[in-house]
Structure 1
Amino acid sequence: MPTILRDGPYRFFFYSSDGNEPVHVHVERENKITKIWLDPVRVCNNFGFNRSELYKILKLVEQHEEKIKEAWHEFFDH
């Protein structure tokens, strides 16, 4: 599970088996996790985050979108 970045209480990562799916990122905090598609940025699934926190996470993903995509392609396109 490569960690791409940390921003406040959030850890952004993907699983090493995610490479056959469209570009996305998992975001976790404590026992909550969500999966965010990147093209376009939107929630795929969510376990525990409320609507306002999901909105905040989506904004963070948008802010870090290029870094996330670069990390994805660096890891999976080798």
Structure 2
Amino acid sequence: MPVVFRHKGFRFLFFSNEGNPREPVHIHAVKDGIDAKFWLHPVCVAYNDGFDAKTLRELVQVIESNVNDIERAWDEHFG
């Protein structure tokens, strides 16, 4: 599971074996055993395993600021 970047203790990553066929580009934000998944187009929560609404809003903003880096990492990893 490649970590694309870190921010305030969150790891932003994707899973190499997630979905068959592969799901559209997305990113997971993980911290303290809690995971949330975000679609990139548009950036929105796909699922949330326990973050509060304020945290989710902050994560959306961070992801929006890093969409190009996330897409580049996705393309490099999955070809």
TM-score by length of 1: 0.94
Which residue type is aligned with residue 46 of structure 2?
C
Runs of 4+ in 1 over 4 A off after TM superposition: none
Which residue type is aligned with residue 31 of structure 2?
R
Note the aligned Cα RMSD (angstroms).
1.0
TM-score by length of 2: 0.93
CA distance in structure 1 between the partners assigned to 2:33 and 2:3 by the alignment = 16
Equivalence for 2:35? 33
Q: Percent identity?
A: 38
Which residue type is aligned with residue 39 of structure 2?
W
CA distance in structure 2 between the partners assigned to 1:18 and 1:71 by the alignment = 15
Equivalence for 2:76? 74
The number of residue pairs the alignment matches comes to 77
CA distance in structure 1 between the partners assigned to 2:76 and 2:49 by the alignment = 28
Q: CA deviation at 1:18?
A: 2.9
CA distance in structure 2 between the partners assigned to 1:72 and 1:18 by the alignment = 12
Where does structure 2 lack aligned partners over 5 or more consecutive residues? none
SS of residue in 1 equivalent to 2:72? helix
Equivalence for 1:7? 7
Structure with greater helix share of residues: 1
